[in-house]
Structure 1
């Protein structure tokens, strides 16, 4: 064992690594230390429970989707593995969602060049709103990141110019999936309405 990590009997170690005699520690400091460590212990226990729930929920949903697919000889769920399951009475629903983290490679610059050509030629006819939408899509935030949502929204514009269509193709080919995250969200229907409220599994969202 590393001797540097051994705290002698009768001493506490402070945040700077200094050893403080127990009889020199104020009662309020002892009480604070006890409170913090007790809450940390409970937090680890709760985190482990959430981990067990998450792993079990993903496994159960995957098993059900497979069962349903085998019974009806068809794929269940939407694109990217998203699926929503309802209780028989419709009171509850569980959503399994896969969120992809995407980036654009160098082909995005080729798309921007083609779009710039279009805007240059359309100076007389293009509306200021269209120019603002296009130019704003390529604006980077303070971290130098470009909004994927704004870039992809350009593909929904109904423009038939061949250069524009080529630029949209370049944007599509420039998409690179660099990671994904899976989520499970649980909802309860609000009364007799068609609206659902999410059952919070996030500590910050739990009501006091």
Structure 2
């Protein structure tokens, strides 16, 4: 561990909230004041590590936000310049564009993706699909059952993954009730906006291949 942790410097790593508290006390997660003498050393050391790292992460977060805004604005300015030069908008306001340096070493892609959500009609679609599976009984293939279960499995936030529902809609099943269920799914899909992504790449030596420059902590 790179942080130098000692009992003497633990008490010095106090947050702004702690500076307004009575001397020798800490506020716990429940909002109660606890004497520092009653807090385990390990708990104090853990507090020091987290309190030291998170503010740095928040600063990085702000820098990444600022970088994205700057990059998107620079790309939009380039599009506008090209539009003025040729009398047309390069890619349009929501166009996907790919920009490469003159020597081909770096590449930036701006990509837009429509954000979809589901209305209450998805419950009707699910009921119809459940009815199909019950009616088909043993006649339904295990593969179809697995696809259906995966499609309606919510993540930890209680959200259903759109791509899984789209996979479900691609199944070719000749059944009137199933077809009605797919119609209900299509009606349940609603566009709620557009997300914009920046993808940055660096060319791999002298090849025509590029590696992504990850700005995701989990991928570093």
What is the TM-score when the length of structure 1 is the normalising length? 0.63
1:116 is aligned to 2:130: yes
Instruction: Kindly state the Cα deviation for residue 117 of structure 1 after the two structures are TM-superposed.
Output: 4.1
1:58 aligns with 2:72: yes
2:118 matched to which residue of 1? 104
Structure 1 residues 73 and 127: alpha-carbon distance in aligned structure 2, compared to 1, 3 A threshold: same
List per-residue Cα deviations over 1:73-124 (Å, max 9, x = no partner): 366179x644332334433211223455533111112222333344345446
- Specify every segment of 5 or more residues in structure 1 that has no aligned partner in the other structure, as ranges: 21-28
Residues matched between the structures, number: 191
Whether the 8 Å CA contact 1:68–1:76 is kept in 2: the answer is: no
Identify which of 69, 88, 93 aligns with 1:73.
88
Q: Say what the alpha-carbon RMSD is for the aligned residues.
A: 4.4
CA distance in 2, matches of 1:64, 1:173: 38
Shift of 1:69: 5.0
Paired with 1:195 and 1:170, the residues of 2 have a C-alpha distance of 43
CA contact (8 A) 2:108 2:200 kept: yes
Where 1:64 maps in the other structure, the secondary structure is: helix
Q: Does 1:172 align with 2:211?
A: no
Structure 1 residues 5-49: Cα deviation after superposition (integer angstroms, max 9, x where no partner): 987xxx97864489x9xxxxxxxx9xxx8xx77x88876765554
**Could you say what secondary structure the match of 1:103 adopts?**
strand
Q: TM-score, normalised by structure 2?
A: 0.60
1:198 maps to 212
Q: Map residues 16-55 of structure 1 onto 2, 5 A cutoff.
A: 16=27, 49-55=63-69
